[in-house]
Amino acid sequence: MTAKYLSQPIKRLEDKYLLTGNARYVDDIEVPGVLHAAFLRSDYAHAKINKIDVSEARKRPGVVAVFTAEDFGDFWKPGPLQVPPPTAIAGSKFNARTIVPIAKDKIRYSGEALAVVIAESRYIAEDAFDDIIVDVEPLPAVIDLEKAWEDTSVLVHDDLPSNMAALVSQEVGNYEEAKKNADVVVSKRMLVEHVAGAAMENRGFVAKWDEQDQQMTIWANTQSPLTVRGSVARNLGLAESQVRVITPYIGGGFGPKVMTSLSDDVLIPWIAKKLNRPIKWTEDRRENFLATTSERDQIHHCEIALKKDGTILGFKDVFYHNTGAYDSYGMTVPLNTQTHTISNYRVPNFYTEIRMVFTNTMVVTPVRGAGRSEGVFVMERMIDFAAKKLGMDPTELRLKNLLTAEEMPHKTGIIGQDFVANVLDSGDYLDNYQKCLKAVDYEKFRKEIQPKARKEGKRLGIGVVAFTEGTAVGPYEGCKVTISTNGKVTMATGYSTQGQGHQTVFAQIIADQLNVKVEDVKVITGDTGSFAWGAGTFASRGATLVGTASYLAAQKVRAKIFATASKAFGVPEDEIELGEGFVFVKGKPENKITLGDLAIKANPMRGVVEPGVEPGLEATAYYGPPHGATGSGALAVIVSVDPETYKVKVERFVMVDDCGTIINPLILDGQIDGGVSMGIGNTLYEKMVYDENGQMLTASFMDYLMPQATDMPKKIEIIHQHNKSPLNPLGIKGIGEAGAIPPGPAICQALEDAFSEIPLEILESNLNPSIIYDYVKKARNS
Amino acid sequence: MSQTFPISVTVNGKVYNREVEPRLLLSDFLRHDLGLIGTHVGCEHGICGACTILFDGEPVRSCLIFAVQANGHEIRTVESLGTPDHLHPLQQSFKDKHALQCGFCTPGFLMTLVPFLEEHPNPSEDEIREAIDGNICRCTGYEKIVEAVEDAAAKLSQAK
């Protein structure tokens, strides 16, 4: 079959609505009779609650109700584990302390909900905060990860003997034995800083209970509509069929919108049912910073052992991972760190240990990059440090150890976030790196550009790193494809969309199979009333899992087209031809049946249907891979450093990426560009800062610096590799997080190169001019 | 806070007479009182630029202005540009160059750029980047937005 749409730069079908103010987001949902919710949030990071007095707030005109933990009675309980612990890893220890919907007895992070006010307007609801008296006894805050791990630390959860949330170690080979044969061993302590997802749209939730129909309808901008549906049904004792979760257009996700069982999705449905009034809550930016979820925040103690020719013998990494006050999202992030630490290179001996620790900070869940960034950061940094010690060029050391196509599929043996032993399915990591060196013209930079710049008093540096991106993990996703009687096609999936172009890419795959115009395929994402199975939007799995399910479902519908047409024309199926939107018997194009008319024939109103025949030109398909597909790539950056201000400018940015089959090159490059802006932002601008009292000092866009148009390199040069994944029929691998992964280590390497005359060693992932100045000063004095 | 004041505001060429509380933000007035949901609210502290509208032709943050301040003034929102089937040239360029992903920040960019392109019919890349520096986009990395503006500038100056 010829692919008319696959791999073509089809302009997005959803754009015309988004561009004209005709796309509804959750705060645009207007339900008659709606009341507005506002959460009073704690100013303290850690405190014992004596009393929260809401009696005056209840008297305020316009206030309908005020609830504290006590008012929820038996409904109040810690939430479920959204992601289970990794029991597949032998010896793993995990202490589940899941998110509570609203603080009771104790406050565990600044921003935790203390009371919820329901009022006629959001303005009035927030006015009522002034009427609430919060009587608490402040406790010392647990913030420093390494101190928090010690037995002497103040406890976040008093019923646990320590702040250990989890202890998980994995080993392939035997690192300590391998180290005995090493010529060179390098050890470092490194910090990967805390960052926000910071989607431009904050979270939001609207719940409407219909007493007559006994139905709950929810509009939410969640990445996991089916998880929300399941937990709302369980919480309220309803059948899943009584709860419909609709995700309207969503203004970016980037991870944090995957978290459920937060105050809003637990309490608002209960309140809507109790008051029998629709309730709306829209998060504000400060709440998003304080009380959604965020990520990174790891401290690594790494060691690398090598032969003097540069062969890596082994790697050891013991790292502290902040899970925040609760650990409902399990260990997705640190497990990703473990799998991504060694996944670029031949590392025969690897010991990795997660020390996941509770602190008095907001809950940690994936943010674009999601643990991968941390693993790649520490490995790439360690290779740079090892290269310096060996007196080798950092690129030479990489070229020696990178995995090649001949070694694929490569089993690393490290169990990942999907609880499956990691298998690198495809790709040529060495080739990625070589192409990247060539594209940036590494030799020319070293021999001509950099020396010339130095003579002119300019500091230029180059960094070239490798990365992998584990994507497309299971368990599964699915969809239903239907040809309507008007000849148009509808696809429905439980997968929700946040700007990734799903309405176009899934339509492209389906349109090719059914030979219809791409604009005649309407894709419905994340409406549990339309499709009610699936896991959620995370781990760059949409294109691969839902894309493959789209392909499989469309193939089934295609088979039904031929079967129905064969019957209608009274000829064997192999004599049927599928034109654009119609069928005919080969050689007789004048006698057509449109797909719409064929859909009518596929749904007979009288007569006898043969056994096994399902009505309609409709089919459902699911796809679950045996393990994830791993994208890969390399990144070269050239940076300049202002000798006066130490401001860093990214002068060139050349990225090689291999995501297998490209569905839509326009959308693909957009995904990379967006990830890159986050990666550059995380490295040079963005940092969430908590002080020693657990107060977040960066809870606004004035303090948390988002990369702006003038901060980005002028051109993100992208080179695509095309090593298909063998795991799915179209050969797709994910791409959503690639751009966010390698900028940190590449920029660090380039900065050290820009100051190559001094022993500069950058040991943290977020750098502003004053941090760089301090590093340089220290290196000059050493 | 129940006291209200009468205001008369022209929005996208239509006159609206309403009674509003003095503390009502213009962004909330446009979105919830008038139902013009194309203006989006991203931060409510004037940094992200998603709520940018034209106030007497000047791009301003509607989250930093009270509705009462708009009394007697002329407002334009994204709804005044094109429609899904007849996009404004700038909107068409955004679509053609894949200059939007989630679309949440997009109306703010458009409303910043419409007067910019009127004043700078042939902008340089640096001028475009300066112009949109007050609008944050988390999805695109800006490069394709810059390309869209260049594309729109070329189309618009050709049309003149």
User: Could B141 and A19 be called an inter-chain contact, meaning their C-beta atoms sit closer than 8 Å?
Assistant: no
Instruction: Kindly state whether residues B73 and B94 are assigned to the same domain.
Output: no
Task: Write out chain B residues lying below 8 Å of A500, CB-based.
Answer: 101
Report the residue from B84, B129, B142 with minimal CB separation from A17.
B84
Q: What pLDDT does residue A44 have?
A: 98
Task: Write out chain B residues lying below 8 Å of A501, CB-based.
Answer: 101
Above 70 in pLDDT, residue A724? yes
Residue A690 CB contacts under 8 Å (≥ 6 apart), including other chains: A45, A143, A194, A361, A696, A697
Neighbours of A51 (CB within 10 A): 11
Instruction: Report CA torsion sign: B31, B36, B40, B46.
Output: negative
User: Could A200 and B102 be called an inter-chain contact, meaning their C-beta atoms sit closer than 8 Å?
Assistant: yes
Report the residue from B84, B94, B143 with minimal CB separation from A716.
B143
Query: Which residue, B80, B104, B133, sits at the end of a domain?
Result: B80
Q: What pLDDT does residue A608 have?
A: 85
Which chain B residue shows the shortest CA-CA distance from A26? B37
Q: Are B61 and B51 in contact (CB under 8 A)?
A: yes
Q: For the segment A421-476, what is each residue's pLDDT rounded down to a tens digit? A: 999 999 999 999 999 999 999 999 999 999 999 999 999 999 999 999 999 999 99
Instruction: Give the DSSP per-residue string, A707-757.
Output: --GGGS-S-EEEEEE----TTSTT-B---TTGGGSSHHHHHHHHHHHHTTT
| Closest to A768 measured CA to CA, from A641, A646, A640 | A646
Mean pLDDT of A215-227: 98
Instruction: Kindly state whether residues B70 and B97 are assigned to the same domain.
Output: no
Distance from CA of B145 to the nearest CA of A (A): 9
- Band of pLDDT at residue A782, cut at 50, 70 and 90: confident
Residue A604 CB contacts under 8 Å (≥ 6 apart), including other chains: A615
Provide the domain limits for residue B30: 5-80
Report the residue from B2, B24, B79 with minimal CB separation from A21.
B79
Pairwise CA distance, residues A326 & A346, whole Å: 36
Report the residue from B43, B79, B82 with minimal CB separation from A701.
B43
Radius of gyration of chain B (CA): 16
Above 90 in pLDDT, residue A534? yes
User: Could A498 and B102 be called an inter-chain contact, meaning their C-beta atoms sit closer than 8 Å?
Assistant: yes
Mean pLDDT of A488-510: 98
Instruction: Kindly state whether residues B97 and B136 are assigned to the same domain.
Output: yes
Instruction: Kindly state whether residues B74 and B140 are assigned to the same domain.
Output: no
Look up the CATH number of the domain holding residue B132: 1.10.150.120
Query: Which residue, B80, B100, B125, sits at the end of a domain?
Result: B80
By DSSP bridging, strand A47-53 and strand A294-306 are: unpaired
Pairwise CA distance, residues A243 & A176, whole Å: 54
Instruction: Kindly state whether residues B37 and B74 are assigned to the same domain.
Output: yes
- Band of pLDDT at residue B160, cut at 50, 70 and 90: confident
User: Could B104 and A25 be called an inter-chain contact, meaning their C-beta atoms sit closer than 8 Å?
Assistant: yes
Above 60 in pLDDT, residue B1? no
By DSSP bridging, strand A521-525 and strand B58-61 are: unpaired
Q: What pLDDT does residue A610 have?
A: 85
Instruction: Kindly state whether residues B68 and B131 are assigned to the same domain.
Output: no
Above 90 in pLDDT, residue A180? yes
Task: Write out chain A residues lying below 8 Å of B101, CB-based.
Answer: 252, 499-501, 670, 674
Report the residue from A17, A28, A499 with minimal CB separation from B139.
A499
Instruction: Kindly state whether residues B76 and B94 are assigned to the same domain.
Output: no
Please report the ipTM that was assigned to this predicted complex: 0.98
| Closest to A684 measured CA to CA, from A718, A658, A710 | A710
Look up the CATH number of the domain holding residue B26: 3.10.20.30
Task: Write out chain B residues lying below 8 Å of A367, CB-based.
Answer: none
Pairwise CA distance, residues B109 & B135, whole Å: 6
| Mean confidence (pLDDT) of chain A | 97
- Band of pLDDT at residue A1, cut at 50, 70 and 90: low
Distance from CA of B130 to the nearest CA of A (A): 7
Instruction: Kindly state whether residues B107 and B74 are assigned to the same domain.
Output: no
Distance from CA of B87 to the nearest CA of A (A): 7
User: Could A23 and B23 be called an inter-chain contact, meaning their C-beta atoms sit closer than 8 Å?
Assistant: no
Instruction: Kindly state whether residues B48 and B102 are assigned to the same domain.
Output: no
What torsion do the CA atoms of A147, A149, A154, A158 make, to the nearest 10 degrees? Answer: 170
Report the residue from A61, A250, A715 with minimal CB separation from B143.
A715
Report the residue from B83, B132, B144 with minimal CB separation from A673.
B144
Q: For the segment A298-339, what is each residue's pLDDT rounded down to a tens digit? A: 999 999 999 999 999 999 999 999 999 999 999 999 999 999
pTM of the full structure: 0.97
- Exposed (0-12), middle (13-18) or buried (19+): which is A73, by Cβ within 10 Å? exposed
Q: Are A728 and A630 in contact (CB under 8 A)?
A: no
- Band of pLDDT at residue B158, cut at 50, 70 and 90: confident
Task: Write out chain B residues lying below 8 Å of A669, CB-based.
Answer: 98, 144
Instruction: Kindly state whether residues B73 and B132 are assigned to the same domain.
Output: no
Q: Which of A15, A202, A287, A714 to mutate to test the interface with B (most CBs of B within 10 A)?
A: A15
Pairwise CA distance, residues A389 & A639, whole Å: 23
User: Could B110 and A499 be called an inter-chain contact, meaning their C-beta atoms sit closer than 8 Å?
Assistant: no
Task: Write out chain A residues lying below 8 Å of B98, CB-based.
Answer: 11-12, 666-667, 669-670
Instruction: Kindly state whether residues B9 and B75 are assigned to the same domain.
Output: yes
User: Could B41 and A20 be called an inter-chain contact, meaning their C-beta atoms sit closer than 8 Å?
Assistant: no
Q: How far is CA A96 from CA A81, A86, A167, A208, A331, in A?
A: 8, 12, 12, 32, 11
Task: Write out chain A residues lying below 8 Å of B136, CB-based.
Answer: 200, 701, 706, 708
Task: Write out chain A residues lying below 8 Å of B2, CB-based.
Answer: 61
Pairwise CA distance, residues A592 & A568, whole Å: 11
User: Could B140 and A677 be called an inter-chain contact, meaning their C-beta atoms sit closer than 8 Å?
Assistant: yes
Helix, strand, coil share of chain A (percent; to 5) = 30, 30, 40
User: Could B98 and A200 be called an inter-chain contact, meaning their C-beta atoms sit closer than 8 Å?
Assistant: no
Report the residue from A19, A252, A285 with minimal CB separation from B43.
A285
Question: Residue-wise over A257-295: b if at least 16 C-beta within 10 A, else e?
Answer: bbbbbbbbbbbbbbbbbbeebbbbbbbbbbbbbbbbbbb
Helix, strand, coil share of chain B (percent; to 5) = 40, 20, 40
Distance from CA of B158 to the nearest CA of A (A): 23
Instruction: Kindly state whether residues B128 and B61 are assigned to the same domain.
Output: no
| Closest to A259 measured CA to CA, from A157, A366, A356, A166 | A366
Q: Are A713 and A640 in contact (CB under 8 A)?
A: no
Question: Residue-wise over A571-598: b if at least 16 C-beta within 10 A, else e?
Answer: eeeebbbbeebbbbbeeeeeebbbbbeb
For residue A634, give the 3-state DSSP assignment. Answer: strand
Which chain B residue shows the shortest CA-CA distance from A497? B102
- Band of pLDDT at residue A3, cut at 50, 70 and 90: confident
Q: Are A539 and A470 in contact (CB under 8 A)?
A: yes
Distance from CA of B128 to the nearest CA of A (A): 9
Report the residue from B36, B41, B143 with minimal CB separation from A712.
B143
User: Could B104 and A24 be called an inter-chain contact, meaning their C-beta atoms sit closer than 8 Å?
Assistant: no
DSSP H or E stretch at residue A672: helix A665-684
Query: Which residue, B80, B101, B124, sits at the end of a domain?
Result: B80
Residue type, A707: P
Q: How far is CA A119 from CA A58, A67, A124, A613, B21, in A?
A: 10, 12, 6, 54, 16
Terminus-to-terminus CA distance in chain B, angstroms? 51
Distance from CA of A233 to the nearest CA of B (A): 29
User: Going from the N-terminus, what domains does chain A have, and what CATH number goes with each?
Assistant: 15-21+474-623 (3.30.365.10), 384-473+629-781 (3.30.365.10)
Q: Are A421 and A415 in contact (CB under 8 A)?
A: yes
Phi first, then psi: give them for residue A376, nearest 5 degrees. Answer: -70, -40
Which chain B residue shows the shortest CA-CA distance from A250? B102
What torsion do the CA atoms of A217, A220, A226, A231 make, to the nearest 10 degrees? Answer: -70
Cα angle at B102 between A418 and A231, to 5 degrees?
45
Q: For the segment A566-612, what is each residue's pLDDT rounded down to a tens digit? A: 999 999 999 999 999 999 999 999 999 999 999 999 999 998 888 88
Task: Write out chain B residues lying below 8 Å of A30, CB-based.
Answer: 32, 35
Pairwise CA distance, residues A374 & A690, whole Å: 20
Tokens 């030109």 label which residue? A617
User: Could A500 and B31 be called an inter-chain contact, meaning their C-beta atoms sit closer than 8 Å?
Assistant: no
Above 90 in pLDDT, residue A702? yes
Phi first, then psi: give them for residue A68, nearest 5 degrees. Answer: -115, 180
Terminus-to-terminus CA distance in chain A, angstroms? 66
Which residues are A462's β-sheet partners? A638
Which chain A residue shows the shortest CA-CA distance from B99? A670
Specify the number of domains making up chain B.
2
Task: Write out chain A residues lying below 8 Å of B134, CB-based.
Answer: 708
Pairwise CA distance, residues B34 & B26, whole Å: 10
DSSP H or E stretch at residue A18: helix A15-18
% of chain A exceeding 70 in pLDDT: 100
Task: Write out chain A residues lying below 8 Å of B35, CB-based.
Answer: 30
Pairwise CA distance, residues A625 & A589, whole Å: 41
